[in-house]
Homo-oligomer: A and B are copies of this chain.
C-alpha cells in the first residue's frame, strides 16, 4: 500500500511489473496471441504462469464458453435451416400469399394511409416463418438446458484448474481497508470529537445512508433515462413513419417500413454505445461515494451496479419490441394516441418476432463489431500513439533513447491494465443475447461463436503486446460473475417462455388447430386471427382520405386482433377467442418454466461438481500426506526422545488432551484432530 499512496499523491505516475521477454512470452505470442491457431485449445497453463491465476481463469472461462457455443450454434443453424426448408409448406403464409386472397386490411395510419390488401404482406409473412416455427420452441428449451450445462461444466473445469494450479487449499486473504474508507472513518471521528475515537472503527449503516440513497436515486434515474431514450426512439419511429407516408414518391413510401426500422435500430445502437460509457463512469462514481471497506467489496459493488445499468441499457429496446410493441395499439375507431396525434406503432403482419429479430441482430452485431473490436483494438493503439508522441515531444535526445530504450520505458508506452471487468461484462451481455431471446433469433449463438473466436486471440494479443503486464493475482473462481451468469440463465427461462407464448404466433396457431379448425389443419388460420371493422365507425377526421385506393368501395376492413365483430351485441369487445388464447399462452408459460427448471435441477443433480478423478486424487493425496506427515513427526520425536535429555520437551500430546492421538480412524480426521489438539493445548498453556 506504500506504492499505492505514492501513486495516489502523484509522486509516481505509474507502477507496473515489466514484461519478461523470455521464452514464455514468445511462446505465448506464437501459440496463443495468434489468429492462425484459432482452432486450438489455449495454453492456459502458460497464460497462468505469465499473467497469474485471475487472468488465467478468465481465459479458461472464455475458452470453455466459446467451446460450448459450438454445439449451440450448430443446432441454431439447423433450426434456421429447418425454417428455410419449411417456408413453402407453411399454410398461414401460403394463405396470405395466395393470389385469390383478397382480404382488405384497415389502414395502418390515420388520414394519409388507405386500405391495403393482405397479400402485399406476403414477403414479411414468409420471412417471419424463418424465426417463428415449432423448431424455435425446441431450440429455446435446448438453449436453457445448454446454459445449465455450461454452468455445470464451468464448475468442473474450475475445480480441475484449482487442483492443477494447487489452489484447493487457497483462501481469499482478508483485504486491508481501502484508503478512501479509512479517510472517511477518520473524518467521521474528527467530526465527532476525540472523546469517542476509540470505538469509532467503522462506518455504520447510518453513515452510509446518504450514499445508499444517492445510489438508489441515481440508479433509478439512469434506468429512467434509458426508458426515456427508448421512448424517444419510438416517437422518432412513429413520427418519421407518418412523415414518410405523406411523401408523394412511391419508392420512398414502399421503403418506409425498412428505412424507419433500420434507422431506428441504428439510433438505438448508437445510444446504447454512448450510454454504456456514461453508465460505466456513473457506476464508478456511485461506488466511490459508497466507500466500501475493502478492494474486493469495491469491485463487487462496482460490477453489480455496472451490470445492472448496462444490462438495462442493452435490453430495454429489445424487451419493448418483444412484449409491448403492437400491444398498446388500441383498435380501429379507438386507437391509442401519444401526445394526441401519433398513433402507437403496430407490428407488420406476421407478428413482432421479425422486428425483434432485426433489432437483436443489429444490436448484437453492432455492439460486437463497434464496441468490442473497433474500440478494443483502436483505442489502445490510439492511446499508445498519443503516449509515444507526448514522450517524443518531452524528450529531446530522441535518437539516443530510441536505441537504448530500457524495458520499463518501452512498457510505459503501453496501455495500463484496467482490470478484467470490461472483458467479463462484454461476454456476459453477449451471453444475455445468446440465451435471453434465443427463441426469436436462433442464429445468435453462431454470431457469438464467430465473435468469440476472434475475441480470444484479440484479447490475447492485447495482453501480450498492447498492455503493461498486469500484477499477477490469485483467484479460486471467477467470483461475482458466476452469480451474474446464473441470474441471467434463470431470467432467460422465463423470458423465452414469454417470447414463445406472447411474441411468436406459436400458441394462436396451436389453439386454432386444436380448438377451432374444422378439419384439424391450419387452413383458415389467417382469417381466424383477423377481426372485422365497419368503416362507418371511424372517428371523425381519422378515416382515410382516399377510401377507394384499392379500386372498389370498402365497407368492412380487417385488423389483427381477437375482437367481436361489429354485428355482435358487444361490438369490438375482446372476444372469447382472445381470452382462450390468452389462457393457453399463460398455461404454456407455466408449463415451459417449470419443465425447464425441473430439467435444470436434474442436470445439476446428475453432473457432479467435482470431476471424479480429481476428487479421488485429492482424497488419495490427503491420505498420503497425513501418512507422510505422521511418519516425519514420529521420526523427529524419536530422535528427540532418543538423543536428547528427556522431559526437556514435554510430550504435549499426552498431557492434557489424551484421547485425540488415538482417534486415527481416518487419516483426514486424524490430521484435523492433530491440528485442533495442537491449537487447544497451546492456547490452554
A residues with a Cβ closer than 8 A to B are 166, 168-171, 173-174, 494, 575-576, 579-580, 582-583, 586-587, 589-590, 593-594, 619, 621, 624-625, 628-629, 632, 635-636, 639-640, 643-644, 649, 665-666, 668-669, 671-672, 675-676, 678-679, 682-683
Cα-based distance from A679 to B668 in the complex (angstroms): 14
A sample of 8 inter-chain contacts (CB < 8 A) reads: A170-B672, A174-B619, A582-B583, A586-B586, A586-B587, A624-B682, A624-B683, A628-B678
Contact of A669 among B171, B590, B639, B676 (CB under 8 A): B171
With both beta carbons as reference points, the residue of chain B lying nearest to A483 in the complex is identified as B605
CB pair A169–B676 under 8 Å, yes or no, is: yes
With both beta carbons as reference points, the residue of chain B lying nearest to A636 in the complex is identified as B636
**Interchain nearest-CB distance for A656 vs B (Å):** 15
Known A579-B583, A621-B679; 13 more pairs at CB < 8 Å: A169-B672, A169-B676, A173-B665, A174-B619, A576-B579, A589-B590, A593-B593, A624-B682, A624-B683, A628-B678, A628-B679, A629-B678, A639-B640
Cα-based distance from A587 to B507 in the complex (angstroms): 16
Main secondary structure of the interface of A (DSSP, over half): helix
Contact of A640 among B628, B636, B675 (CB under 8 A): B636
Known contacts A621-B679, A628-B679, A639-B644; is-contact A173 B586 (Cβ 8 Å): no
Q: Please name all residues of chain B whose beta carbon is closer than 8 Å to the beta carbon of A582 when the two chains form the complex.
A: 579, 583
Q: Please name all residues of chain B whose beta carbon is closer than 8 Å to the beta carbon of A590 when the two chains form the complex.
A: 586, 589-590, 593
Cα-based distance from A640 to B649 in the complex (angstroms): 13
**Interchain nearest-CB distance for A25 vs B (Å):** 20
Cα-based distance from A589 to B649 in the complex (angstroms): 71
Contact of A643 among B580, B644, B668 (CB under 8 A): B644
CB pair B668–A170 under 8 Å, yes or no, is: yes
Known contacts A494-B594, A580-B579, A589-B590; is-contact A629 B171 (Cβ 8 Å): no
Q: Please name all residues of chain B whose beta carbon is closer than 8 Å to the beta carbon of A636 when the two chains form the complex.
A: 636, 640
Cα-based distance from A640 to B639 in the complex (angstroms): 8
CB pair A676–B589 under 8 Å, yes or no, is: no
**Interchain nearest-CB distance for A503 vs B (Å):** 16
Cα-based distance from A264 to B594 in the complex (angstroms): 33
Cα-based distance from A163 to B264 in the complex (angstroms): 60
CB pair B628–A682 under 8 Å, yes or no, is: yes
Q: Please name all residues of chain B whose beta carbon is closer than 8 Å to the beta carbon of A635 when the two chains form the complex.
A: 649
Q: Please name all residues of chain B whose beta carbon is closer than 8 Å to the beta carbon of A628 when the two chains form the complex.
A: 678-679, 682
Cα-based distance from A441 to B685 in the complex (angstroms): 58
CB pair A679–B625 under 8 Å, yes or no, is: yes
Cα-based distance from A626 to B45 in the complex (angstroms): 29
Q: Please name all residues of chain B whose beta carbon is closer than 8 Å to the beta carbon of A580 when the two chains form the complex.
A: 579
Q: Please name all residues of chain B whose beta carbon is closer than 8 Å to the beta carbon of A676 when the two chains form the complex.
A: 166, 169
Q: Please name all residues of chain B whose beta carbon is closer than 8 Å to the beta carbon of A679 when the two chains form the complex.
A: 621, 624-625, 628
With both beta carbons as reference points, the residue of chain B lying nearest to A174 in the complex is identified as B619
Cα-based distance from A602 to B576 in the complex (angstroms): 39
With both beta carbons as reference points, the residue of chain B lying nearest to A666 in the complex is identified as B173
Cα-based distance from A466 to B668 in the complex (angstroms): 36
Cα-based distance from A166 to B671 in the complex (angstroms): 12
CB-based closest 7 A-B pairs: A169-B672, A579-B579, A586-B586, A582-B583, A583-B583, A576-B576, A579-B580
CB pair B586–A675 under 8 Å, yes or no, is: no
**Interchain nearest-CB distance for A612 vs B (Å):** 13
Q: Please name all residues of chain B whose beta carbon is closer than 8 Å to the beta carbon of A629 when the two chains form the complex.
A: 675, 678
**Interchain nearest-CB distance for A102 vs B (Å):** 28
Cα-based distance from A72 to B159 in the complex (angstroms): 40
CB pair B625–A678 under 8 Å, yes or no, is: yes
Q: Please name all residues of chain B whose beta carbon is closer than 8 Å to the beta carbon of A672 when the two chains form the complex.
A: 166, 168-170
Q: Please name all residues of chain B whose beta carbon is closer than 8 Å to the beta carbon of A170 when the two chains form the complex.
A: 668-669, 672
Cα-based distance from A309 to B675 in the complex (angstroms): 45
Cα-based distance from A636 to B644 in the complex (angstroms): 11
Q: Please name all residues of chain B whose beta carbon is closer than 8 Å to the beta carbon of A683 when the two chains form the complex.
A: 624
Q: Please name all residues of chain B whose beta carbon is closer than 8 Å to the beta carbon of A494 when the two chains form the complex.
A: 594
Cα-based distance from A635 to B652 in the complex (angstroms): 14
**Interchain nearest-CB distance for A261 vs B (Å):** 31
Q: Please name all residues of chain B whose beta carbon is closer than 8 Å to the beta carbon of A632 when the two chains form the complex.
A: 678
**Interchain nearest-CB distance for A179 vs B (Å):** 20
Cα-based distance from A593 to B494 in the complex (angstroms): 11
Q: Please name all residues of chain B whose beta carbon is closer than 8 Å to the beta carbon of A576 when the two chains form the complex.
A: 575-576, 579
Q: Please name all residues of chain B whose beta carbon is closer than 8 Å to the beta carbon of A619 when the two chains form the complex.
A: 174
With both beta carbons as reference points, the residue of chain B lying nearest to A622 in the complex is identified as B171
Cα-based distance from A640 to B635 in the complex (angstroms): 11
Cα-based distance from A183 to B210 in the complex (angstroms): 71
Cα-based distance from A675 to B640 in the complex (angstroms): 22
Q: Please name all residues of chain B whose beta carbon is closer than 8 Å to the beta carbon of A625 when the two chains form the complex.
A: 675, 678-679
With both beta carbons as reference points, the residue of chain B lying nearest to A678 in the complex is identified as B628
With both beta carbons as reference points, the residue of chain B lying nearest to A670 in the complex is identified as B169
Q: Please name all residues of chain B whose beta carbon is closer than 8 Å to the beta carbon of A575 when the two chains form the complex.
A: 576
**Interchain nearest-CB distance for A346 vs B (Å):** 23
Q: Please name all residues of chain B whose beta carbon is closer than 8 Å to the beta carbon of A174 when the two chains form the complex.
A: 619
Q: Please name all residues of chain B whose beta carbon is closer than 8 Å to the beta carbon of A643 when the two chains form the complex.
A: 643-644
Q: Please name all residues of chain B whose beta carbon is closer than 8 Å to the beta carbon of A682 when the two chains form the complex.
A: 624, 628
Q: Please name all residues of chain B whose beta carbon is closer than 8 Å to the beta carbon of A671 when the two chains form the complex.
A: 169
